[in-house]
Amino acid sequence: MLFFLTSIQFLVLIYIILYEYRQGSVSIFLWSMNLIVIGVGGILAIVIEPKYSFYTYTKGYMFSILFMCIYILTRVILNTYSKKKLIKRIQENLIKGSEISINPIFKVLSFLSFVLFILYSLRMFGNIFDVTWSNYVYTRPELFSFEYFLSFFSQQFRFIAIPILFIYIYKKQKFQFFIYGIFLFLPFIFTRDRVQILPFFVIIILIFYVKNKKLTIGLIIKYFLLGIFILIFLYAFRIYRFYGSLNNFIDNFNYDIFYEQVFNLFKMNNGELGLIDAYYYFIEKDNIFLGFGKMSTYNRMLLFFIPTQFSFGIKHSDFAITMYSAYFNNYSNTVGSMHPTLIGDCYANAGELGIFLGIFWAFFVKIIDSICYRKNILFSIFLTITWGYNYIIIARGAVYNGYINGIYTSILISLVFYFLKLGKKIK
């Protein structure tokens, strides 16, 4: 019975991906990640030492299947009279040879992002080679301090400028890609923050998409192999994170030990494929936890423009921290966060009624596709890449983080294009 349900779940995920691919929607990144963390993760949950009851897994599969069916039904209805296909339009314009030039401002921003990161690291940690992932993530500068703005603008400049790498790859401008790739991705080596590498993977996948008009068996195999590589890379990078600082990694790296550690993560179903475990844990405990069932994630999404500390309690606290506290039974926790996949987040927010959040996400995808669908093709590319990697973050269960980063970066990109009137330079 469980294998039947998990197979149905997997097939529904495949159907949604194919549907969104044909629609040319940027949500292919959302559902491709869902295929990994929900589809594959859901299979491994019952294959590798099942931890929960038959009832829990059955309810978990039924919840996700119903959620996805409601989502795709709503999407089909919304797209009945719509002929706009975002990525297909980008593809057609690039194939036609539309002139796309990189404004120097993006090159400047990529360089500035790197410089600001160096300054921030030196002021906060003293030596960039001794920066660890934990002190980078959990050592927060005081709100609106000089270090706060260094960190904020370093990240935002990076996310604004990253899409230029798509143009350099597409035009096969290897030297420019190498130089600006260093500025944009070298901080990732020091911080070990995997979010910072996601745009690169989105760019590679998007290149495959726009350079191939038809979805062939060969292309599907390429996507599959690329997906395996990305998954292995993320696991390997998690082990790299365990070494602490870059200095410590250089001093203690051993290939055989490193390989064994990566393999053990897969064997223990720990990492991306194990995120769904928290979802099943919440079901096992009937979602009865402090702060659950209050739609906190969606409250925060609605009130994103208000800092939590200035909201007088109207804006809920970070629900990812609440879920971590529940999962680890540690209610003194103030910084640890749990990302139980998008499905897990929906269940934790609304219980069984969370299946109807499929309607919300169908409308959300429609709105984001409309936002990314610009007359200015370069503008469309920038916004598409922005939401591509943030959809991956959302699919992992870091819903508010992906949402807020997508909103802020989209606004800043829009301001750059508007004030510099970049649209006039695109034919």
Confidence of residue 422 (pLDDT cuts 50, 70, 90): low
Mean pLDDT value across the chain: 89
pLDDT in tens, 259-282: 888 877 776 666 778 899 999 999
**Rounded-to-integer distance, Cα 176 and Cα 210, Å:** 21
Global confidence as pTM: 0.93
Give the mean model confidence (pLDDT) for residues 323-338.
90
DSSP state of 197: G
Q: How many CB atoms lie within 10 A of CB 319?
A: 24
**Cβ(166)–Cβ(381) under 8 Å?**
yes
**Rounded-to-integer distance, Cα 344 and Cα 278, Å:** 7
pLDDT at 74 over 60: yes
Give the mean model confidence (pLDDT) for residues 408-414.
94
pLDDT of residue 268: 66
pLDDT in tens, 77-118: 999 887 788 988 888 888 776 667 788 999 999 999 999 999
Helix axes 341-350, 54-78, angle to 10 degrees: 100
Helix axes 146-161, 104-125, angle to 10 degrees: 140
- Please work out, in degrees rounded to the nearest 5, the angle formed at the alpha carbon of residue 164 by the alpha carbons of 158 and 167: 160
Give the mean model confidence (pLDDT) for residues 143-172.
89
Nearest Cα neighbor of 114 from 171, 191, 174, 176 is: 191
pLDDT of residue 270: 67
Confidence of residue 145 (pLDDT cuts 50, 70, 90): confident
pLDDT in tens, 165-192: 999 999 889 999 999 999 998 888 888 8
Phi, psi of 385 (to 5 degrees): -65, -40
**Rounded-to-integer distance, Cα 263 and Cα 300, Å:** 38
In this predicted model, which residue has the larger pLDDT, 286 or 142?
Answer: 286
Helix, coil or strand: residue 177: helix
Distant-in-sequence contacts of 318-325, Cβ < 8 A, 24+ apart: 318/400, 319/291, 319/345, 319/348, 319/349, 319/400, 320/397, 320/398, 320/400, 320/401, 322/289, 322/290, 322/291, 322/292, 322/296, 323/278, 323/282, 323/348, 325/290
DSSP state of 294: S
**Cβ(359)–Cβ(77) under 8 Å?**
no
DSSP state of 55: H
pLDDT of residue 368: 97
HEC string of 273-285 equals HHCCHHHHHHHHC
What are the residues whose beta carbons fall under 8 Å from the beta carbon of 149, sequence distance 6 or more? none
pLDDT of residue 427: 37
Helix axes 255-267, 217-242, angle to 10 degrees: 110
Nearest Cα neighbor of 195 from 394, 347, 24, 416 is: 394
pLDDT at 33 over 70: yes
In the chain, pLDDT over 70 holds for what percent of residues?
A: 97
DSSP state of 307: -
Helix, coil or strand: residue 16: helix
**Rounded-to-integer distance, Cα 413 and Cα 416, Å:** 5
**Cβ(281)–Cβ(328) under 8 Å?**
no
Give the mean model confidence (pLDDT) for residues 30-53.
92
pLDDT of residue 424: 44
pLDDT of residue 425: 43
What are the residues whose beta carbons fall under 8 Å from the beta carbon of 301, sequence distance 6 or more? 399, 400, 403, 404
Helix, coil or strand: residue 107: helix
Give the mean model confidence (pLDDT) for residues 238-256.
82
Length of the chain (residues): 427
3-state helix, strand, coil in the chain (%, to 5): 75, 0, 25
Alpha carbon distances (Å) from 139 to 129, 148, 165: 16, 11, 30
pLDDT of residue 17: 96
